[in-house]
Structure 1
Amino acid sequence: MTAPALSLTVYGTPGPQGSKTRNAAGAMYESSAKVKPWREAVKTAALDALHHDDGWTALACPVWLELQFTLARPKHHFGTGRNAGRLKPSAPHFPTSKPDLDKLVRSTQDALKDAGVLADDSAVAHLSASKTYVLWGDALRTPGAVIKVWRLNDLHKEPTP
């Protein structure tokens, strides 16, 4: 398989985007305080990765976007007292609570657009996204995300075996 056009790891707490709230004056703002720092972390990581590629232009061609989000486990998943730091047997294997995966995708795509990775998030023709807990399987050791972007046009040019 062709190598991704861009591959990067972003560290920080993934923040969902999408839910809006109105203040007393009627202005709209993001409900999640985590979305702005997350978008900045993604944008910074992408700009750092692109800094070494002078010929990079924002992708307008169809792309495949792969996002693997790693979330911190809630404190109630761990024991207390002599079991402090140990995962409870009842702790779920997969994160099925908030943040919603689609809202994590939305904030990350917007940050990739802001960084100049994507000309527009409508260029994403194929999406693979997952969320997992820290240190579960091949997850990161701290909260964040692994982001990979492929040009679908390049994948279709590959000779078939």
Structure 2
Amino acid sequence: MTITDPTPAPATNTYEWDPTPTLTVTVYGLAGPQGSKTPVGWGRSRKTGKAIPLMRESSKKVKPWREEVTARIQEALLRGDARPIAGPVRAEITFTLPKPTSAPKRRRTYPAVSPDIDKLERSTYDAITAAKAWEDDGRVIENHNRKVYPGEHPDALPEPGAIIRLYTLPGATR
């Protein structure tokens, strides 16, 4: 029988990210979670001709959110405030969600509720891809995303939206 030490080894292999983001964008609006689908009927496959279910996004917030993120990033690229990213990316996104009216007013609360952070990330990454800030979200090799309420975190916006920061590795291309 072998007894192993449950303490994880210290991280020795960290990336040397550029400390200044290659792209920083602030987007206002309700972030739409992407991923849950609702069946809306049946159609035919173009390849096989077989009947297939037709699906659409469950959240009506996804399309306006993606359009807003895409527009803000395209503006930053056109102004020259940012450039398209070709290599590995670290994405850091702070989503500011509307604080429920039933939440306590005098103490900090945490948005440990829907929408799921991975679904918010998915819709935002797809919008970044549509804006051509990167070739594909497969470029992301490290990320840190958070959900906060207004005024309850240093990166929290005064109203719903997100701060998107994308970092690169100096000298890395793939």
- Taking structure 1 as the reference length, what is the TM-score of the superposition? 0.82
Equivalent residue for 2:86, pick from 42, 57, 60? 60
Q: Distance in 1 between matches of 2:81 and 2:152?
A: 36
**Match for 1:20: what amino acid?**
K
Q: Tell me the distance in 2 between the aligned counterparts of 1:55 and 1:65.
A: 14
Q: 1:104/1:121 Cα in 2 relative to 1: closer, same or farther (>3 Å)?
A: same
Fraction of identical pairs, as percent: 42
The residue aligned with 2:161 is: 144
2:89–2:169 contact (8 Å) kept in structure 1: yes
Structure with more helix by fraction: 1
User: Residue 19 in 1 paired to residue 31 in 2?
Assistant: no
Go from structure 1 to structure 2 and tell me whether the alpha carbon gap of 1:10 and 1:102 turns closer, same or farther (over 3 Å shift): same
Does the 8 Å contact 1:62/1:153 carry over to 2?
no
Cα distance between partner residues in 2 of 1:38 and 1:109 = 11
Residue identity opposite 1:69 in structure 2: F
Q: Which amino acid aligns with 2:151?
A: L
Verify the 8 A CA contact 2:150 2:157 in the aligned structure 1: yes
Amino acid at match of 2:102: H
Q: Which runs of 4+ in 1 moved over 2 A?
A: 53-56
Q: Compared with structure 1, are the counterparts of its residues 55 and 38 closer, same or farther at alpha carbon in structure 2 (3 Å cutoff)?
A: closer
| Aligned-partner residue type, residue 128 of structure 1 | H
Q: Unpaired runs of 5+ in structure 1?
A: 79-86, 157-161
Please state if 1:5 is matched with 2:22.
yes
The superposition leaves residues 99-121 of structure 1 with CA deviations (integer Å, 9 ceiling, x where unpaired) of 00000000000000000011000
1:123 Cα shift? 0.2
TM-score by length of 2: 0.76
- The verdict on how the C-alpha distance between 1:54 and 1:67 changes in structure 2, with shifts beyond 3 A counting, is closer
Query: Which of the pair has the greater relative contact order for Cα pairs under 8 Å at 6+ separation?
Result: 1
**Cα distance between partner residues in 1 of 2:82 and 2:166:** 16
8 Å contact from structure 1 (residues 61, 153) kept in 2:
no
Q: 1:111 to 1:98 in 2, by over 3 A?
A: same
Whether 1:77 aligns to 2:77 is no
Q: Give, in whole Å, the separation in 1 of the partners of 2:68 and 2:59.
A: 15
Within 5 Å, which residues of 2 pair with 1:120-135? 120-135=136-151
